[in-house]
Structure 1
Amino acid sequence: MTWKRSIIVTGGTANLGYHAALNIAKSHPDYLIVLSSRSNKDNAADTINKTLSQDNCIYISLDLSNLASVREYAKQWAAQGRPPIQSLVLNAGLQFPGGLTKTVDGLESTFGINHVGHALLFHLLFPHLSDTARIVLTSSGTHDPAMKSGLPDAVYNSAEDLAHPPASMIDVLGRQRYASSKLANVLWTYALHRRLAERRPHASITVNAFDPGLMPGTGLAREGSGIERFLWLRVLPCIIPLLRLAVTPNTHTPAESGAALAQLAVGEDVDGVSGKYFEGLKEILSSEDSYILGKQDDLWQWTINYTAESDEERAKFDI
């Protein structure tokens, strides 16, 4: 079959990403749905195909913690001549509750995976986007101190500080690094939206950020302690109604949030909407810091300067 469009979902082999991919595949059997994660131990694409009695899901390996892997992914995409990308769902994310960890490229791991790998993937795949493509980034309400999520407040002094923490930030709690990386997701969303609007005013590409809410049972806590994993995976999923009352009404199963993420990726009701932050399907304001243009521009320029390998590529990335 000749597919009309492609949809890429990073972190698409489990939990939120899996359910988003399942919903997209169901609503668009004429699209090629690409699940991209570091591993695929549960054969997620095959499971979706069998569930829907379709054949439009495939898995392509992608390690966002390794920028060489991201480049190889984009190189193979270009070589295989797949249909234009209609939605790029930048969903994968990790949290490292312990001490400072680094990627193979020497970046602080949370920032490297949650932001830098995704940003490079976008820039490399930009030439393969359709004229009406949608970019959706999975952020988190933890980026906003006003939400009182229970995590330490996000801190953004500069992208360089997040990427290569100075001595004063070596002992920062891992959960604060996570919140800060999710603030970076929103800052980058707004920076990209502004550049698309200013430099490509006739383009119809949109970009939005998404908060899936509290989702007990996902793989987000896989780097946590044994007790933390037990509570997150075994206890909290059983008391979601209580969590909605006691903690936050923005508490959902991965299936519920996955359906909302799929709607932002392909739903007609958000066609043309860009530069917004969604809590589920509800458009809300993001944190005060996320609207600071200086922070948006610092992240944008640092990201391009770090990821581009030449002046020519740097010019292409700075759309």
Structure 2
Amino acid sequence: MSFSNTVLITGGTAGLGFQTALIIAREHPEYLVVLASRTDPGSAAESINNTLSQKNVTFLPLDLSSLTNVRTFGQAWKAKNFPPIIVLLLNAGTQFPRDLRQTGDGIESTFAINHVGHALLLHLIYPNFASRARIVVTSSGAHDPAQKTGLPDAKYTTAQELAHPSPETAQNSGLQRYTTSKLVNIMWTYALHRRFTKLTEKKLTVTAFDPGLMPGTGIARENGRVFRMLWVHLLPRIIPVLRLVSRNIHSPQESATNLAWLAVSDDVEGVSGIYYEGNNEIKSSEESYDKAKQEDLWQWTVKNIATEESEIEKFEIAN
């Protein structure tokens, strides 16, 4: 069977990503939907295909913590000769609440997985975008101190510091590194949007998305045993009660409806450089609009994921 376009979803084998893939695959059987995650223990693609009695979902392994693996993924993508990418959902994310962790590339793990790996992925597959395509970056309301989520306030210093913490910032909590990575997601979205507006050969849009708090998802897998039990078994059952404290608490299915809407709905065709809480356009944090910090992030990212000067020029997109 031939497909008209491709939808690529990172973290698509579970939680929000899986539910979003299910919705898009159902609504658009003419699209090839590719789930990209480190592993697929639940055979997510096969499960969706069986549920829908279709064959338009497939899985490709992707480890965002390894720049080498991301490049291998990019090479595999080129070899597959998939249809042009019409939607890219940079959805995968993680947090490490306890001690500082580093990847094999020597980058702090939260920053590496939630931002750096995704940035390299986008630049590698950039030639495969359709003439009109959407990118949606999953962030979090936790990035904004004004939302008073109870998590440590995000704080952007420099990209270099986030990637390679000094002895002082290495003492910051893992949850603070997580909220900062979600701020980074939005800052990178805005920097990318500015470059997309200068393109003439393609019409690309990028938005940032807050799915809200989703009890039961895999984001808490690195937390302690008691918290994981509450997160997985209790909190999903009392979401209506939790909404008495915050309205921005949802099941993965509910948030997936909003993410799928951003990905494929005609309602948001051409919309770019916007931050959404669910399906509502809202302001992101004050710090997220700091263009000097956005550009520090952009320049560091490009220079540190490129392997040679020619790649730096290519990764600049609208140089």
- Does the TM-score normalized on the shorter chain lie above 0.5? yes
User: Do the aligned residues in 1 keep the contact of 2:145 with 2:154 (CA within 8 Å)?
Assistant: yes
Q: Partner amino acid for 1:125?
A: I
- What is aligned with 2:12? 12
- Can you list the C-alpha shifts for 1:160-191, whole angstroms capped at 9, x where unaligned? 11100011111100000000000000000000
SS of residue paired to 1:87: strand
The percent of aligned pairs where both chains have the same amino acid is 55
SS of residue paired to 2:160: helix
User: Do the aligned residues in 1 keep the contact of 2:140 with 2:210 (CA within 8 Å)?
Assistant: yes
Match status 1:231 vs 2:226? no
SS of residue paired to 1:170: helix
Equivalent residues in 2 for 1:140-289, closer than 5 Å: 140-197=140-197, 199-201=198-200, 203-246=202-245, 248-289=246-287
1:97 Cα deviation after fit: 0.4
- Can you list the C-alpha shifts for 1:30-71, whole angstroms capped at 9, x where unaligned? 100000000100000000001111000000000000111100
> For residues 120 and 10 of structure 1, what CA distance do their matches in structure 2 show?
13
Q: Partner amino acid for 1:294?
A: A
1:203 Cα deviation after fit: 3.2
Number of matched residues? 317
- Can you list the C-alpha shifts for 1:243-290, whole angstroms capped at 9, x where unaligned? 1112x1011000110111111111110000000000011010000011
Match status 1:306 vs 2:284? no
SS of residue paired to 2:192: helix
User: Do the aligned residues in 1 keep the contact of 2:136 with 2:209 (CA within 8 Å)?
Assistant: yes
Equivalent residues in 2 for 1:41-120, closer than 5 Å: 41-120=41-120
> For residues 65 and 274 of structure 2, what CA distance do their matches in structure 1 show?
27
> For residues 15 and 150 of structure 1, what CA distance do their matches in structure 2 show?
23
- Can you list the C-alpha shifts for 1:125-161, whole angstroms capped at 9, x where unaligned? 0000011110000000000000101100001011111
Unaligned runs of 5+ in 1: none
Root-mean-square deviation (CA, aligned residues, Å) is 0.7
Consecutive aligned runs of 4 or more in structure 1 exceeding 6 Å deviation: none
> For residues 55 and 102 of structure 1, what CA distance do their matches in structure 2 show?
38
- What is aligned with 1:121? 121
- What is aligned with 1:36? 36
User: Do the aligned residues in 1 keep the contact of 2:187 with 2:289 (CA within 8 Å)?
Assistant: yes
Q: Partner amino acid for 1:254?
A: P
